[in-house]
A and B are shown apart, each in its own frame.
Chain A
Amino acid sequence: KNQVEQSPQSLIILEGKNCTLQCNYTVSPFSNLRWYKQDTGRGPVSLTIMTFSENTKSNGRYTATLDADTKQSSLHITASQLSDSASYICVCRSNDYKLSFGAGTTVTVRA
């Protein structure tokens, strides 16, 4: 069973609207959680990284939250743009070098 579960699997939003992606994890021990953006045909690019002691982290229009008690994270995209269309992957790192990836949420922004 995957240790990182994401929802929804995909979503479509209109340009300018906001959306929130969810991530639940069971990775243990837990070191940090990252959100990556992956454009089609490209490798993942890091958006945010949070340790267990951090509750929120922003990167421009992207804001990630982390609740280490409930093992949940969210990624909020504000005022979406067409270029936000991509797959967003939640990634957890345990206390070694391994990363556990979620299956991703595919976001499609339409004009």
Chain B
Amino acid sequence: GAGVSQTPSNKVTEKGKYVELRCDPISGHTALYWYRQSLGQGPEFLIYFQGTGAADDSGLPNDRFFAVRPEGSVSTLKIQRTERGDSAVYLCASSPGERGGGYTFGSGTRLTVV
């Protein structure tokens, strides 16, 4: 596609539930990143994929968070047993190559845990 697409744009879930957030990167971009942005803050790194593999998942806050990119294109961020503190905007970005370059961000998924 022309840009990075994230779905859903908004998600409200109850505490303790499981959610999946989807990211469709720009076609051909091998690198994909997930960031989390809390209100009034800059985005914080969660995980980086190069192709199908998670090259760096050091930003994932705990084991309730998991992300996959099985075919090296679409990625899914999965959050188990959601907590109110997980409420944030989850941003996805993609770039053409291994060493970054032109990052393009999606519009994000606003997750609200009630």
Taken together as a complex, chains A and B put the C-alpha atoms of A42 and B109 apart, in Å, by 10
Within 8 A of B (CB), among A65-111: 89, 91, 93, 96-99, 101-104
The residue in chain B whose Cβ has the minimal distance to the Cβ of A4 is B42
Taken together as a complex, chains A and B put the C-alpha atoms of A15 and B112 apart, in Å, by 35
* Nearest CB of chain A from residue B94's CB, rounded to whole Å: 11
Show the binding face of B for A, using Cβ within 8 Å: 4, 31, 33, 35, 40-45, 48, 55-56, 91, 93, 98-100, 102-103, 105-108, 110
Enumerate chain B residues within 8 angstroms of A42, measured Cβ to Cβ: 107-108
Within 8 A of B (CB), among A1-17: 2, 4
Show the binding face of A for B, using Cβ within 8 Å: 2, 4, 41-46, 89, 91, 93, 96-99, 101-104
15 A-B contact pairs sorted by A residue (CB < 8 Å): A2-B42, A4-B42, A43-B4, A43-B93, A43-B108, A44-B43, A44-B91, A44-B105, A46-B102, A93-B100, A97-B55, A98-B45, A99-B33, A101-B42, A102-B42
Taken together as a complex, chains A and B put the C-alpha atoms of A93 and B33 apart, in Å, by 14
Contact B99 A97 (CB under 8 A): yes
Contact A98 B107 (CB under 8 A): no
Q: A104-B41, A104-B42 are in contact. List 9 more A-B contacts (CB 8 A).
A: A43-B105, A89-B43, A93-B100, A97-B31, A97-B56, A99-B43, A99-B100, A103-B40, A103-B41
